[in-house]
Structures are given as structure tokens and as C-alpha cells.
Structure 1
């Protein structure tokens, strides 16, 4: 809870800080990387820095956190921070790094806002930052403790046991421990980080959902090769490297599993809605449910460009067929006629022909416009907002839009 003396100061200055967060975060990252260039090469996603999405995500998170502190002081902003904490844990972030970040972030606030940052204002926003930082540090410490590792000690060598081309742009890698012991347990829906050394010496990290059920000796990830977009975005550095170079027998650096989009226990109906590579956490959930012979009512929805682009399509169909109370609904931008036997449809996802019980818990994964559209339609159908959960691949821009 923000102190009594800082609350009115933050409330009064929040509009000015919020309006300048784009400039603040841009200056913050520039100063941070000037002093610590190794962080850009070996911890932060260079592509997200180049296209500005990481700055936008940070600005959205700070603004949302500060707003909760001053407008809803009795509310714990854990939901805002949980996704960040899991991401940080998967990167091996440690408490000492928050001191470095705080110094540069608060310095950027002072520089951008100039004389408006009086000692009182500086102290109030320092308090905001450390409330957020300490809450993240505490959450991350709990995640490390649950994984039975020291802070930041999440990286392990994993051997590629199998490689399978799933579509023209996706490949699955089955990972096993080199010592032959079972891979660490995880919850359906979680992800791991993968770190690779690129030709320029940088060690870049990306997250990939575990795309098969837990409880097996191995893990599986499915990697979509991110291609260049109209010259405005470069090829994905890590995904392209994995597609070109990852072979059976290779050892790669992989983190322990993290992520807060996880399959809930119980018997409430489930909606698993995905688009494109967003199918991966849903596959782990489906696989787990099928292995458990679940009797839950399950609605599986997937959208893709075409049947040929639909990674793991046959596997998804097979898993749904093993669940006697599950139904599959497919939408394609083109080519739905190839799958008339499965009732595939052309166009964007709609729920006109799907009757969802109001107690349904929904899980969404895919591009942000897809998830926003689906969430809006689910709300109009009476689902509770608290029952709709989502996973974002990359910077979480949900709060900043």
C-alpha cells in the first residue's frame, strides 16, 4: 500500500507521468544499455527493443500498477505482476538487477519531466517503483523456492531427442535430460525459456510453451519461425536459428518451466481458444485431459491461415476425439473446404453456433487482436471477466492498449 504522504502526490502526477511514459521508457532503456550492454545482448529481447514493444509493455505495466495504488488502494495488484514474475523467473532475474533498473528508470523520469520532479515527487515515485519491485522480487523468490533452486538458477542443459516438422513454418523439438533422468514436472500451459548463441556472440532468449502433457520423461516445444514482415520487422533471431541449426543430439540451454496460464483443477466447463502458434499451451492441456480421461465439457476452438498452416492439426483432432465430452471448432482464412468432415469454417472465429455454459473457464492464446475479439464476444455471451484468461507470446501489451 502506498503511504499516506505519497498517495496524493502520485495521484496528482500520474497523468503527467503517464503521458510521458513513452519518452521515459525509451530514455530508460537507452541509458540502461549504454551502461550495461551485456543486458541487451544476453537478457533482453533485441527485436522487442528495436520495434518498441518492450518499452510499450513496461509503460503499460507501470501505469496500471500506479493506478491500482492510488485508485484501488485495498486491492492487491498481484494479477498485474504475476505474468511478469513468471517471465522474470524464466529468465533467471535476480533481486540485485532491480537496483540497476530502478536507478535508470527513476533517473529517466527526472530527466524527462524536469523541474516538475521535486524532491517530494521523486520520493513518491521511488516508493511506487520499490513497491512494484519488491512485490516482484517476493513473487519470484516464491517461484524459485517452488522449483527448489537458488534465485536465478533456472538454466539446464537439455538434449534434443527428436525433431519433427509440423508445418512449413513450425518445428517440434523433444527435449530430454542428458543424464537420462525425467525432465522436471510442470503444469499444463506453462513454458520454458531457450537461450542460443547467435553468430555475433549474443546469447538471446525466447519463451516457448511446452506442447505436450506433463508427467512424461521428456518435454516438447514447438517453434514457429518468425519471418520478416514487410521489411518493418526482421526475422526472428532465435526461432530462425533453431529451425536452421537445432538437430537431434544437440545440447541447448533451457530454463525450468514457468507461466501462470495453467489448467485449473475441478470439473467446470473449459474453453480452449487459440490461433496460429497459440495452439501450443492448449495442446498440453488437451493432452493432459485426454490422459486423465476427463469428463469435463470442453470446447476447443482454433483459428489459422489454412489447414496446411495449422501445426499439430491431426494431433489436436485425435486428442479431442479421445475426450467424449469435447467438441472441436475450426476456422481458416482459406481452405476450410478441405476439412468439411470436421466442420471447419471460413473466416474469423465466432461463437454463434456454440452455446457456452456461463460457468465456463476460458483460456485464450494467439495474436492480441484475436484474443481481444474473442474476449469481447465471450463477455457478451455472459462469461465472467474473471473467468477469461490469456497468454501473450512476447511483451504483454494487453494493459497498454
Structure 2
């Protein structure tokens, strides 16, 4: 995908003032519109719930919230003259890991704009619908192009491949570390530190459901950590699998990867959010990096900190690695440590944790663009765009 310094010119002269005048009002209605859209979509295409969309995210409203945020954010970025490259990349990686096809954008358009027209009523004039149709297809075309680039960069054309459970061991009272081996000779993609895969399994009723899991090791190893959610549809299935069981796994994706700079790196995590950080640490130790790395982790207790020995061992192997922890309900505070100068901060954990940490980092003088994050599931924050 070609980057441009500004994207406001992508919108026609006729569309720009209409989008500017209606963005705030549409943003206010988009949460309700999105819920109605998904109802229409799944009534017409129930097959999309089999292996594509998460029923759990539909039930909580996270998927609807993410859709609403992304479309309006895209429009606002264009009006501000900013190219939405970060937004496009983040969503494209997620879509690529799910096997979203170009044809599905037309299906989404049909039902989304039917929901918009029904919600806005007389306010959905021909001019308003035309302007936001322009926004939608600009967004969709950029996503399709980036998703195509991502797929074509893989060593195989498969959206999904079958992998066999080789090992499943408890990493804490609620987390399992699982390793998979390929079932055939499909070429295996090298994963970058910090990337994730989608894992697809049949739920209790036979309908396939998908979740994303960070890879604990870069390269061609497929190892993940799964935190059990007793009310979930995927994690209990994965926890119950025995060695030899087969699951479907996507190629690795994710735009939050280890950069090649020599700037100090701060990895700030909470709970199961330590998993992408471990991928970063594995990559750094394998390269014999002398980069300064500060790992900050918060957890409910020492015993519930999954993969703690692996995190600690990797930090010890780094020439300039340090580890700081906040356990037993203590809140992570950046003022408790001496942050390095000019760091890159990478966060992963619950949304409230990341919002708090981002505010602390900015207050400490770290540029907002140097505070990066990974979010499991739909991105309802879109902080970096």
C-alpha cells in the first residue's frame, strides 16, 4: 500500500463539508447503528458466525463499538489531513488473521448502510448517504489492498492450516501453555516478535469460533498461552484438548512488532498481557541484544503470574535487562521506577490498565506516538491513530 502525506484529498470536494458537518452526530449514533447492523448482517448471513465473527464480542458489544470507532476515526483523520496508515494496518492485520475476503466488504456495506438509513430517518439524505458511502469505500479499498499485501507476503496461500497439539501444560492456575506442530508440509511463516495467530475451534454447539493469541516465541514455533474463561466458548475447549488433537491456526499477523532501533524499550504488562512481551524478550535474547530493556509487570499474585520464570530468565539473559513487579493488588506506577531517557513503551493488559499507564507515560514526558499497545480482540480504544 502506498503511503501519502495527506489523505483529505481522497474525499471529493462535495463529500468533505458533509462529512465534517455530520461526523459528530453520526459518531453519537454509531453504537446503536452498529448493533442494528450486526443484527441485519447475521439475519441475512448466519454463516458468518461460523468461524469468522465472535459471538462473545457480539454479546458484549465490543465488536459494534470497534466498528463505530474505526469508521468515524477514519473519517476524522482524513478531515484533519492525516493519512490513516496506522489505523488501516492495525485493522488489516486483524482481518487477515481471520481470512476476511474482499467480497465481504460489499456485504457489510449493504447491511451497514441499511442500518444507517433506518436509524437516521429523514436525516439520511441522498447527499449524506453518498458522502459516507465515499468514506466507507475509501476505507474498504485501503483495507483490501493492505490485506492483499499481507496475504501475498506469506509463504503459503492458506487462510487456515491444521496443527496438532504437541504439549499442553499449566503455566498458572488459570493459564495453559500450548505448543502445536504442523500436520502436513504446508510452508510455515516466520513470526516476528510480538505477532499473534488466530486459533479456530468448534464451540460446544459445533459452530466454529476464533480467538487471537500472541505467540510466545518468534520464528516457526507455534506456542501460545491460553487463559481460561469459564464462561467463554474457546478457552475451555483449548484447555480440554489433549496432545494429538487438531486445531486450525492462521498465519502470524500483527503490526506491533519489535522495532530495530537501539532506543530503550519499556515493556509494561498486566496479567495475561505478558504474552506479547515474552515474544519480544525471546527475540531480543535470541539476537544477543545489548539494548536496554525494562520489563514492568503487574499481577494479582506471584502464583497467578503466568510464565513468570520464562520472563525472568529472558530478562536475566539480556545484558541490559531489568524486571520490576507490582503484585498482590498493587497498582503499577511509573514513578516507582527510574525510566530510561527517550524510551519506546509497549503495553498490553486490560484496557483500564493501559489507559492509566498511557496517561502516566505522557505525564512523564514520553511522546504519545512512542506509547504503543496490543489489545486482545476488537480494538475499542484506537489510541495510536
Deviations along 1:115-162, one digit per CA (max 9) or x if unpaired, are 111111111111011011111111101101111444xx3201111111
1:354 to 332, 337, 353: 337
Give yes or no for contact 1:86–1:258 (8 Å, CA) kept in 2: yes
Match of 1:236 in 2: 232
Runs of 4+ in 1 over 6 A off after TM superposition: none
* Alpha-carbon distance in 2 for matches of 1:220, 1:248: 13
1:159 aligns with 2:164: yes
Give yes or no for contact 1:194–1:208 (8 Å, CA) kept in 2: yes
- Cα distance, 1:382 vs structure 2: 1.2
1:274 aligns with 2:277: no
Deviations along 1:352-380, one digit per CA (max 9) or x if unpaired, are 23222332111100101111111111111
- Cα distance, 1:22 vs structure 2: 1.5
Deviations along 1:271-310, one digit per CA (max 9) or x if unpaired, are 0111111111110111111122211111001111101110
* Alpha-carbon distance in 2 for matches of 1:278, 1:59: 25
Give yes or no for contact 2:156–2:187 (8 Å, CA) kept in 1: no
* Alpha-carbon distance in 1 for matches of 2:139, 2:212: 23
Match of 2:115 in 1: 108
Q: Which runs of 5+ in 1 are unaligned?
A: 228-234, 335-346
* Alpha-carbon distance in 2 for matches of 1:281, 1:161: 21
Superposed, which structure 2 residues align to 1:247-396 within 5 Å? 247-334=242-329, 347-396=330-379
Question: When the two structures are superposed, what TM-score results if normalisation uses the length of structure 1?
Answer: 0.90
Which SS does the other structure have where 2:234 is aligned? helix
Match of 1:219 in 2: 222
* Alpha-carbon distance in 2 for matches of 1:81, 1:391: 15
* Alpha-carbon distance in 2 for matches of 1:313, 1:243: 20
Which SS does the other structure have where 2:190 is aligned? coil
- Cα distance, 1:46 vs structure 2: 0.2
Superposed, which structure 2 residues align to 1:37-48 within 5 Å? 37-48=46-57
* Alpha-carbon distance in 2 for matches of 1:142, 1:165: 37
2:16 to 2, 7, 30: 7
1:133 aligns with 2:116: no
Which SS does the other structure have where 1:206 is aligned? strand
Distance 1:319-1:28 versus aligned 2 partners, 3 A rule: same
Deviations along 1:174-221, one digit per CA (max 9) or x if unpaired, are 111124788420100000000001231200000000012x23x53111
Superposed, which structure 2 residues align to 1:202-217 within 5 Å? 202-212=207-217, 214-215=218-219, 217=220
Which SS does the other structure have where 2:171 is aligned? strand
Give yes or no for contact 1:176–1:183 (8 Å, CA) kept in 2: no
Aligned pair count? Answer: 374
Distance 1:182-1:21 versus aligned 2 partners, 3 A rule: closer
* Alpha-carbon distance in 2 for matches of 1:353, 1:13: 45
Superposed, which structure 2 residues align to 1:81-120 within 5 Å? 81-120=88-127
Which SS does the other structure have where 1:237 is aligned? coil
1:79 aligns with 2:62: no
Give yes or no for contact 1:183–1:219 (8 Å, CA) kept in 2: no
Which SS does the other structure have where 2:50 is aligned? helix
* Alpha-carbon distance in 2 for matches of 1:16, 1:181: 49
* Alpha-carbon distance in 2 for matches of 1:46, 1:243: 19
Match of 1:397 in 2: 380
* Alpha-carbon distance in 2 for matches of 1:357, 1:165: 35
Which SS does the other structure have where 2:68 is aligned? helix
* Alpha-carbon distance in 1 for matches of 2:63, 2:30: 12
1:35 to 35, 44, 55: 44
